[in-house]
Amino acid sequence: MAAFFFLLIFLLIDFYFYQAIIGVTGRLSFSVARWIRIFFWVPTILSILAMLWWIFDDPFRYSANFRNWVITGLMATYLSKITGVLVLLAGDIFRMIQWLSDRVFQKPSDSTQGLMNRSEFISTASVAVASLPLGGFAFGIISGAHDYRLHKVRVRIKDLPSALDGLCIGQISDIHSGSFWNKTAVKGGVDLLMREKPDLIAFTGDLVNNETSEAKEYVPVFSKLKAPLGVYSVTGNHDYGDYRSWATKEEKLKNFKDLIDVHGALGFDLLMNENRNLKIDGSALRVIGVENWGAGRFAKYGKLRDAVLNTRDSDFRLLLSHDPSHWDAEVKNADELIHLTLSGHTHGFQFGIEAGGIKWSPSQYIYKQWAGHYQSDMHHLYVNRGYGYLAYPGRVGIPPELTVIELVKS
């Protein structure tokens, strides 16, 4: 029932915005105006068919990539129209206020020609403004989706052993392999990280969108991630298959078992609420990994208490935890000091501004820590902006990230 309510809302938006199309095409020849007005309804018809398909069919019978393009088409179509409608609405409200003012103060009305020009101006402005989100969506797909950026960060650790001073940790997060549409570019991003020759690599979750089959095509690509001290990984909220319907509980469990097997095929050491002890010139580095744990509505599979067992003798503790909200909620209060936590999850909302000292994204209204390096006393957190993308196959202002963190003794 809710879906049909939204369908009705979308149709009302279409009919309202169509008035702007009529205004813009009013002075064109009849044949040109007719074809423009007919073409206006093509995305609407396709959107309605897409919504009906989503309601009455099983969209998970089709690839994640196909679902992403459907969602993107709907978002681009109606975000653009809603933007244009706001301009139309503002114009209509202004004209209504002016009309009431003229009646109250008995002012002479504008000429018909003047009203027509004003109406045409508002219609043109509405269409022009509506084109901006559409252009932004296209730019983010063509230019932003695979514009991989390398972030090099120095993290200063008090009393860091000399053996660990200068250690380089590569981080990759939120691959979302089911969304990729340019395999060549994806390979290029992996090569970019490998050229940095990190000592250790951490993958901080969300290998897939909904099901393990999405990752199998990319095993040869991401299995190229290698490091002398190993490649370690954890699961993210999308890796459990929680966001789709399964025929049976056993089918869902098998999907997750297959995901564990894929981590093995990639050469990743998957840490499921456990840790690994690495000895480096007599110093002990603990790599700790928890299953997904997220504040609020997100699943809490992680068991930090189990993960940090037997780490008391460690000189440095590195935690991999997919969701950065875990840091404030549990990590900073753990029995053992976690020196550095690596997370992802937010994607930086795949939209924002990071330039000229400005750092803004809608993600910051949801997550206190959403991108980059954070510190609280002796606790450090780094939130990776993500390698892939979800739903919208692009990025605007928040490019996909590969991170190289250098540990420095302070």
CATH number, domain with residue 338: 3.60.21.10
Q: For residue 201, give both structure tokens.
A: 């690599």
Query: Which of 143, 167, 189 is the last residue in one of the domains?
Result: 143
Q: Compute how many other C-beta atoms are within 10 angstroms of the C-beta atom of residue 328.
A: 17
Domain match, 125 and 166 both: no
In this structure, the chain runs to a length of 410
Query: Which of 123, 143, 163 is the last residue in one of the domains?
Result: 143
Residues 6+ apart with CB under 8 A from 186: 146, 180, 218, 221
Domain match, 224 and 128 both: no
Domain match, 290 and 233 both: yes
Closest CA to 67 of 242, 201, 209: 209
Domain match, 337 and 290 both: yes
Domain match, 287 and 391 both: yes
So what's the pLDDT on residue 297?
Answer: 87
In a 13 Å sphere around the CA of 230, the CA atoms on its Cβ side amount to 17
Domain match, 173 and 308 both: yes
Contact criterion met (CB below 8 Å) for 344 and 384: yes
Q: Is 386 helix (H, G, I), strand (E, B) or coil?
A: coil
End-to-end, the C-alpha distance of the chain in Å comes to: 60
Per-residue pLDDT reduced to its tens digit, 298-351 = 989 999 999 999 999 999 999 999 999 999 999 999 988 999 999 999 999 999
> What span, in angstroms and rounded, lies between the C-alpha atoms of 59 and 354?
35
Query: Which of 143, 171, 197 is the last residue in one of the domains?
Result: 143
Domain match, 283 and 311 both: yes
So what's the pLDDT on residue 306?
Answer: 96
Calculate the CA dihedral of residues 201, 205, 209, 213 and round it to 10 degrees.
Answer: 60
Strands 379-383 and 149-157: unpaired
Place of tokens 């190289």: 404
So what's the pLDDT on residue 387?
Answer: 98
Q: For residue 390, give both structure tokens.
A: 């979800």
Domain match, 398 and 270 both: yes
DSSP symbols for 370-383:
-SEEEEETTEEEEE
Closest CA to 183 of 218, 226, 147: 218
Q: How far is CA 207 from CA 66, 74, 210, 255, 259, in A?
A: 18, 25, 9, 13, 9
Domain match, 276 and 363 both: yes
Domain match, 160 and 122 both: no
The structural domain count of the chain equals 2
So what's the pLDDT on residue 83?
Answer: 92
> What span, in angstroms and rounded, lies between the C-alpha atoms of 261 and 212?
10
Residues of the chain with pLDDT under 70: 1, 3, 107-118
Residues 6+ apart with CB under 8 A from 321: 204, 234, 289, 290, 293, 302, 304, 327, 331, 341, 342, 343
Contact criterion met (CB below 8 Å) for 404 and 168: yes
Q: List the domain range (segments joined by +) for residue 18.
A: 2-143
So what's the pLDDT on residue 329?
Answer: 96
Closest CA to 286 of 249, 323, 320: 320
So what's the pLDDT on residue 249?
Answer: 96
DSSP tag of 286: E
Contact criterion met (CB below 8 Å) for 345 and 294: yes
> What span, in angstroms and rounded, lies between the C-alpha atoms of 128 and 240?
43
Contact criterion met (CB below 8 Å) for 285 and 311: no
DSSP symbols for 72-109:
HHHHHHHHHHHHHHHHHHHHHHHHHHHHHHHHHHTPPP
Which residues lie across from 154 on neighbouring strands?
406
So what's the pLDDT on residue 235?
Answer: 98
